[in-house]
């Protein structure tokens, strides 16, 4: 293409060119990972964590606490039920504290034990494990899956792929349904979905189902490698005494194949027989022998794989093992590494975590089991009523955060001759809130014009606890 002046237009490539002049993509093409299944200590721990976390996740919304769901974040009614606790939006501080405590716990855990959370308890890892188990059961282990993907489409291949997709979709939808069941009573949600009612509920079940399917079925290790921010900032929490999965290069190198009968040490070889089993089992498709990599989720499957090989070769276990950088470098024992756990950064994280947790628990224990909000009635700011009195009207919202009906008594103070003329006592049902209209009177002319501070005292009759809220009484110009 030419410019208006007739000269050839310069073409700017959108990606750098290699030495031959071809366009090179800035992005690495995704290589599908076909992890091989392995059994061993860490594999069993991973499955134990899958069962434990999923028992809690799928089971919790079905448990009842009296007449209601045991754990329910009822956004519509603006109430959170957590076992015996009823929290209102005013209790948001507890949620904030809980998030800070969780973040600190993750920092502490990462400083001590590296990425064990990623490898054993992160939902991304857990659901990927479940999806891979289904894939393994339907399509076979690594070599069978590689063969199947490389073969032409036959009835058998279509059948296997369809069955896998069907099972993945079923697990995804059940996961989406369970997740929404933490926000909408799950028994009611089940009935609504069966009757095809509740378009928002249907949308969110499909949305979370789709997210599970996409993340665990297709993206898998890509989420850990490219999307998860935790993988990026974890290095800030690591030091040379953090537990990581390490390959003992001093013992393993130079690597190379050999038979059991050969004296490999005489041939100058290390303990690694270069079987690549540790690479084949890795769910993120890396070679731990290249050193610590940010992609490593610390799942320990390469440890299981290498220990199996070491057993077969009659070499000592632990060529790949959980250790620390200092531990590997200085050849420390487990006890020596344990002694380094209580280092300054760990003590600081622990101190802050304990202080925050104790503070939050103490605050929850002494928390008043009801809330009061006072709103002035803006329709009638101040008026003269029968008997020569000046009236101000307020609306009090009282929230009963207990599991039993409660009686409340309102009193007001702050001005000479102040009288509360509305019904002072009433009942609010368990975990309910109620708006109460309150009229305050003072003798006309007993206070100067302007706004005067007053205070409402609300007493919970059964528990004897009291909450006081401030407001103002307006006296108009005469
Ligand atoms: S390198 Fe080992 S510990 Fe790290 S992700 Fe791969 S298999 Fe898991
Ligand atoms: S499994 Fe062990 S022996 Fe085999 S390649 Fe990996 S480190 Fe070497």
Query: Residue 410 maps to which CATH number?
Result: 2.60.40.10
317 and 378 together in one domain: no
Residue 457 phi/psi, 5° resolution? Answer: -110, 120
Residue 146 and residue 197 in one domain: yes
- Residue 9 has a CB neighbour count (10 Å cut-off) of 9
Question: Which ligand has the shortest distance to the CA of 318?
Answer: 2
State the distance from the centre of ligand 1 to the C-alpha of 292, rounded, in angstroms: 10
Q: Is residue 69 part of a domain?
A: yes
CA pair distance 252, 243, nearest whole angstrom = 20
Q: What span, in angstroms and rounded, lies between the C-alpha atoms of 59 and 253? A: 48
Residue with tokens 């190379």: 256
Please choose from 274, 282, 316 the residue to mutate so as to test ligand 2's pocket, defined by most ligand atoms within 8 A of CB.
Answer: 274
| Among 360, 358, 371, residue whose Cα is nearest residue 465 | 371
Q: Is 277 in the pocket of ligand 2 (CB under 6 A)?
A: yes
| H or E element in which residue 49 lies | helix 41-59
My answer on whether 328 and 462 are in the same domain is no
What integer pLDDT is reported at residue 368 of this predicted model? 85
The answer to whether residue 58 sits within a structural domain is: yes
Q: From the CB of 320, is ligand 2 less than 6 Å away?
A: yes
Smallest Cα–Cα separation from 119: which of 387, 277, 300?
300
Measured between its terminal Cα atoms, the distance across the chain in Å is 86
d(CA 249, CA 100): 39
Whether 283 and 297 have beta carbons less than 8 Å apart is answered as yes
Write out the DSSP string of 84-127: TEEE-GGGHHHHHHHHHHHHHHHHHHHHHHTTHHHHHT-HHHHH
Decide: 112 and 346 in contact? Cβ < 8 Å.
yes
Residue 200 lies in a domain: yes
Give me ligand 1 centre to Cα 264, in Å.
27
Atom 6 of ligand 1, residue of closest alpha carbon: 282
Q: Is 246 helix (H, G, I), strand (E, B) or coil?
A: strand
* pLDDT of 77: 82
Q: Which residue CA neighbors atom 6 of ligand 2 most closely?
A: 278
Please state, in angstroms and rounded to a whole number, the distance separating the CA atoms of residues 162 and 343. 53
Where is 395: in which H helix or E strand? strand 389-400
Whether residues 220 and 245 fall in one domain? no
In a domain, 1, yes or no: no
Instruction: Write down the pLDDT at residue 51.
Output: 97
Distance CA 118, CA 230 (A): 9
> Phi and psi for 410 in degrees, rounded to 5?
-105, 140
Q: Are residues 64 and 202 in the same domain?
A: yes
Distance 256 CA to ligand 2 centre (A): 10
Query: How far are the Cα atoms of 257, 271, 399 from residue 249, in angstroms, in the given order?
Result: 16, 9, 64
Q: What SS3 state is found at 373?
A: strand
Distance 282 CA to ligand 1 centre (A): 5
Residue bearing the CA closest to ligand 2, atom 2: 306
Q: Are residues 54 and 190 in the same domain?
A: yes
Q: In whole angstroms, how large is the CA radius of gyration of the chain?
A: 33
User: Closest Cα partner for 309 from 358, 347, 257, 355?
Assistant: 257
The C-alpha atoms of residue 304 and residue 40 are separated, in whole angstroms, by 5
Burial class from Cβ neighbours inside 10 Å (0-12, 13-18, 19+) for residue 306 reads: buried
Residue 408 CB contacts under 8 Å (≥ 6 apart), including other chains: 370, 398, 425, 426, 427, 428, 458, 459, 460, 461
Nearest protein Cα to ligand 2, atom 8: 272
Domain stops at, among 198, 227, 256 = 227
Could you tell me if 184 and 240 lie in one domain?
A: no
User: Are 195 and 298 within one domain?
Assistant: no
Integer CA distances (angstroms), 342 to 170, 241, 338, 355, in order: 46, 10, 8, 17
60 DSSP 8-state letter: G
End position of a domain, from candidates 206, 227, 248? 227
Mutate to test the pocket of ligand 1, among 222, 224, 284 (most ligand atoms within 8 A of CB): 284
| Residue the block writes with tokens 């089940």 | 190
Residues 77 and 164 in one domain: yes
Question: Could you tell me the CA-to-CA distances from 266 to 170, 197, 239, 257, 275 in Å, in that order?
Answer: 57, 75, 37, 14, 20
361: Cα separation from own chain's centroid: 21
Closest CA to 469 of 372, 381, 398, 395: 372
Residue 339 half-sphere exposure, CB side, CA atoms within 13 Å? 6
To test the pocket of ligand 1, the residue of 289, 299, 304, 305 to mutate (highest count of ligand atoms within 8 Å of its CB) is: 299
Res 12: pLDDT? 40
Number of domains present in the structure of the chain: 3
**Kind and range of the H or E run holding 451:** strand 450-460
Distance CA 421, CA 442 (A): 10
Q: What are phi and psi of 59, to 5 degrees?
A: -90, -35
Q: Which atom of ligand 1 is nearest to the CA of 245?
A: 3
At 6 the pLDDT is 46
Full residue range of the structural domain in which residue 242 is found:
235-345
Taking only the tens of pLDDT, the chain with its 478 residues reads 444 444 444 444 444 444 445 566 666 666 788 999 999 999 999 999 999 999 999 999 999 988 889 999 998 888 889 888 888 887 888 889 999 999 899 889 888 888 888 999 999 999 999 999 999 999 999 999 999 999 999 999 999 999 999 999 999 999 999 999 999 999 999 988 888 787 888 999 999 999 999 999 988 888 888 888 887 777 788 889 999 999 999 999 999 999 888 889 998 999 999 999 999 999 999 999 998 888 899 999 999 999 999 999 999 999 999 999 899 888 888 899 998 888 888 999 999 999 999 999 998 888 888 889 999 877 777 888 888 899 999 999 999 888 888 999 999 999 999 999 988 999 998 888 899 999 999 998 888 999 999 999 999 998 888 999 999 999 988 7
Give the pLDDT score at 23.
63
Is residue 302 helix, strand or coil?
helix
Extract the tokens encoding 405.
């009906």
Q: Determine, yes or no, domain membership for 10.
A: no
Is position 96 within any domain? yes
Considering every ligand atom, which ligand is closest to the CA of 282?
1
Both 97 and 190 in one domain: the answer is yes
Q: How far is it, in rounded angstroms, from Cα 345 to Cα 343?
A: 6
Helix (H, G, I), strand (E, B) or coil at 33: coil
* Alpha carbons 427 and 409: distance in angstroms, whole number: 9
Protein residue whose Cα sits closest to atom 3 of ligand 2: 272
Q: Are residue 49 and residue 150 in the same domain, yes or no?
A: yes
Q: Which atom of ligand 2 is nearest to the CA of 274?
A: 5
Mutation probe of ligand 2 site: the residue of 272, 282, 285 with most atoms within 8 A of C-beta: 272
Would you state the pLDDT for residue 288?
Answer: 95
| Residue 29 located in a structural domain | no
Distance 14 CA to ligand 2 centre (A): 41
Give 245 Cα–ligand 1 centroid separation in angstroms: 7
Tell me, in angstroms, the distance from the centre of ligand 1 to residue 393's CA. Answer: 67
**DSSP summary character for residue 391:** E
184 and 106 assigned to the same domain: yes
Residue 308 lies in a domain: yes
Residues 183, 75 contacting (CB under 8 angstroms): yes
Ligand 2 atom closest to Cα of residue 271? 3
Is 108 near ligand 1, meaning CB less than 6 Å away? no
Q: Give the per-residue pLDDT at 22.
A: 58
């Amino acid at each position: 293409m030419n410019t208006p002046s007739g000269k050839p237009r310069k073409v700017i490539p959108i990606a750098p060119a290699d030495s031959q002049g071809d366009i090179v993509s800035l992005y690495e093409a995704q290589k599908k990972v076909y992890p091989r299944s392995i059994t061993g200590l860490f594999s069993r721990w991973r499955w134990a964590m899958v069962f434990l976390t999923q028992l809690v996740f799928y089971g919790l919304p079905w448990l009842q606490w009296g007449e209601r769901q045991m754990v329910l974040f009822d956004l519509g009614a603006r109430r959170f039920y957590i076992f015996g606790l009823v929290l209102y939006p005013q209790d948001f501080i507890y949620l904030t504290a809980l998030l800070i405590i969780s973040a600190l716990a993750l920092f502490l855990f990462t400083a001590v034990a590296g990425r064990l959370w990623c490898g054993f308890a992160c939902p991304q890892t857990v659901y990927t494990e479940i999806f891979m188990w289904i894939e393994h059961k339907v399509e076979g282990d690594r070599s069978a899956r590689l063969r199947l993907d490389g073969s032409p489409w036959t009835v058998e291949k279509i059948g296997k792929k369809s069955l896998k997709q069907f099972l993945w979709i079923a697990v995804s939808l059940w996961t989406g349904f369970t997740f929404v069941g933490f926000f909408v009573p799950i028994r009611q949600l089940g009935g609504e979905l069966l009757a095809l009612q509740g378009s928002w509920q249907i949308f969110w079940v499909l949305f979370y189902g789709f997210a599970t399917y996409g993340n665990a079925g297709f993206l898998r290790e890509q989420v850990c490698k490219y999307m998860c921010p935790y993988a990026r900032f974890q290095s800030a929490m690591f030091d040379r005494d953090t537990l990581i999965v390490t390959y003992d290069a001093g013992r393993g190198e130079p690597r190379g194949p050999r038979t059991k009968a050969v004296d490999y040490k005489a041939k100058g070889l290390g303990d690694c027989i270069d079987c690549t089993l540790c690479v084949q089992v890795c769910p993120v498709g890396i070679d731990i022998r290249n050193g610590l990599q940010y992609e490593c989720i610390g799942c320990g499957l390469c440890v299981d794989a290498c220990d199996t090989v070491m057993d077969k070769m009659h070499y000592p276990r632990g060529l790949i093992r959980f250790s620390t950088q200092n531990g590997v470098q200085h050849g420390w024992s487990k006890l020596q590494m344990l002694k380094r756990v209580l280092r300054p950064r760990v003590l600081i994280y622990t101190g802050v975590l304990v202080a925050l947790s104790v503070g939050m628990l103490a605050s929850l224990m002494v928390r008043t089991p009801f809330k009061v909000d006072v709103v002035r009635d803006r329709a009638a700011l101040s008026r003269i009523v029968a008997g020569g009195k000046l009236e101000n009207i307020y609306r009090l919202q009282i929230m009963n955060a207990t599991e039993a009906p409660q009686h409340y008594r309102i009193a007001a103070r702050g001005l000479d001759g102040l009288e509360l003329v509305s019904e002072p006592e009433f009942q609010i049902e368990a975990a309910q809130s109620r708006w109460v209209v309150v009229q305050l009177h003072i003798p006309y002319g007993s206070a100067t014009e302007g706004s005067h501070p007053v205070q409402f005292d609300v007493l919970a009759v059964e528990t004897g606890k009291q909450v006081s809220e401030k407001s103002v009484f307006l006296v108009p110009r005469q």
